[in-house]
Amino acid sequence: MGMDRKIEKKWWSRRRIIQLSSITIFLIFIFYLLFFTDASSRLNVSSERITISEVFKGPFQVYIPLSGTVLPIKTVYLDAIEGGRVEKVVREAGNYVNKGDTILYLTNTNLLMNIMNREAELFEQRNNLRGSRLAMERNSLTLEAELAELDYEISVAERKFNRNKTLLERELIPKEEFEDSRDKYEYLIKERELTTKTQYQDSIFRSQQIHMLEQSVERIQTNLEFVRQNLENLVLRAPVSGQLTSLDADIGQSKREGERLGQIDILDGFKVRAEIDEYYIARLEVGLPGDFDLTGSTYQLKVTKIYPEVRDGRFAVDMEFVGTPPEDIRRGQTVHIRLALGDLSECLQLPRGGFYQNTGGNWAYVIDESGDIAVKREIRLGRMNPKVFEVLEGLNAGEKVITSSYDNFGDVDKIVLKE
């Protein structure tokens, strides 16, 4: 009887091969998804709707844009030195005037009355002075006459006294008669001394009185001349030669003392006055350069004066031309100035754009080598001016960056550029 032979199953059966193949393919697919596919978010954007700028290396300078107004190099203001009513206007605004030309006349009735009163006071004081001098002369003559009379009486009394003295020694007259002559003589001597002293004191008093009157007359004379000068100030004359650019005065109009009447512009040159945000006040100094473009040419300026007063968050500076100013420039013209705040330095730069408002300069979409995809990349920007940013990290010269606004990009990692 024959033995049955055991049939062994083949391990690499068709079914097992199919199962193993399926598992392998599945694992390879999972491995591919994990390691070879890009899971980052993407957004398709038309390249025509964005701005692409190239990173470049070049000279960089921090400057701020300003709007300046052209003004004459010097302006002289006309104020009313003395108040009054406008009687006559000789020169109109816009006319050229020479130094000393009459511009207008004012009248002041109170000033005229003041002059008349001071003249009357001066006349009265001069009369008082003249009267005092005459009285002093008369008193001096009277005292001289009294002294002359006393000298005569003393001379007579002295002779009588000396004679009686001799007679008394000879016992020819009584002693009483001698004593009477002696007393008379001594009395006259004392009277003369007293009269002399009185004359001296009176002379001093009258001299002081005359001196005070002389000072009073001189003071009134000085005040009168001052008031008359004020009368001259009612005539407004040009203190310099130039253009009378404004005049606020109509016939019959009243003007107060110190009130602004107009101004004269000296047309020898021009300057530019600009207002700047107070943020920059600590960084500005006299001598800083600036420039502006006009009719195809660039003109240089420099800061010559800084006004420290801040109004509404802004302060003013004056800038003068370096070299020849434009020939066709006019007073009141507006120019757009680039005011430099530092020296030139070589660095990487990226043109400014709306992306900065979205990223704060911390990252940007950078175009890859294919030119079809922009990838989000961390960057670091430094100083800026109205045209460019200074690039500190994250970008190289020649790379291209999307610099327009990212408002519509959301938070995607890549931007796919489409034609």
pLDDT band per the 50, 70, 90 thresholds, residue 364: very high
3-state helix, strand, coil in the chain (%, to 5): 35, 35, 30
Residue 204, pLDDT score:
79
Place of tokens 């009248």: 107
The pLDDT mean for the chain works out to 83
Amino acid sitting at position 118: R
Q: What pLDDT shows up at residue 37?
A: 46
Please classify residue 52 by burial: count the beta carbons closer than 10 Å to its beta carbon, then call 0-12 exposed, 13-18 middle and 19+ buried: middle
Task: Give the model confidence (pLDDT) of 15-55 as tens digits.
Answer: 767 777 777 777 776 655 554 445 567 888 888 889 999 99
Whether 100 and 119 have beta carbons less than 8 Å apart is answered as no
Collapsed DSSP state (helix, strand, coil) of residue 2: coil
Distance, CA of 318 to CA of 312 (rounded, Å): 18
> Which residue is it, tokens 């009584």?
174
Q: E-strand spans in 361-407? A: 363-367, 373-378, 380-384, 388-393, 400-402
DSSP label at residue 367: E
Whole-angstrom distance, CA of residue 362 vs CA of residue 134: 102
The confidence score (pLDDT) of residue 29 equals 61
pLDDT at 2 > cutoff 50: no
3-state SS assignment for residue 49: helix
Residue 317 — pLDDT band, cuts 50, 70, 90?
A: very high
pLDDT tens digits for range 264-281? 988 788 899 999 999 888
Query: Which of the two residues, 291 and 228, has the higher pLDDT score?
Result: 291
CA distances from 232 to 2, 90, 106, 150, 246 (A): 161, 16, 10, 60, 22
pLDDT tens figures, 207-242: 777 777 777 777 777 776 777 777 787 888 999 988
SS3 89: strand
